[in-house]
Amino acid sequence: MKSITPTAEYLEKAKQLSPEESERLMARMRGRFKRRTEDRRLSALGAMALQLEYEDEELAEWRQRMGELREEQKARERVAGQSHSAAQDS
């Protein structure tokens, strides 16, 4: 999480959440954001915006890692297939 203040984009996303979605987001919220709302250093809307941003960053990182793992798996399968073919040719 890079920013300490929510961006306008994520504030707008947080405003558009339904009450149920807001509740679910608050339930997933990390302790740091909850404490800031309790200390009144951050509004509930601001905390939700930061949580949305954090989750988007985490999802992007997860997708990147999964893509790298898939590529590694494909490379291993190609190598295994080549060595299997070479053994059959002998």
pTM, to two decimals: 0.74
pLDDT along the chain (90 residues), means of 10: 80 97 91 80 92 96 97 91 68
Domain residue spans of the chain: 8-89
Reading the block at residue 70, the tokens are 């898939």
How do the residues of the chain divide into helix, strand and coil, expressed in percent and rounded to 5?
A: 80, 0, 20
**At 17, phi and psi to the nearest 5?**
-70, 145
Q: What is the pLDDT of residue 31?
A: 80
pLDDT of residue 84: 66
The closest alpha carbon to 47, from 31, 63, 60, 62, belongs to: 31
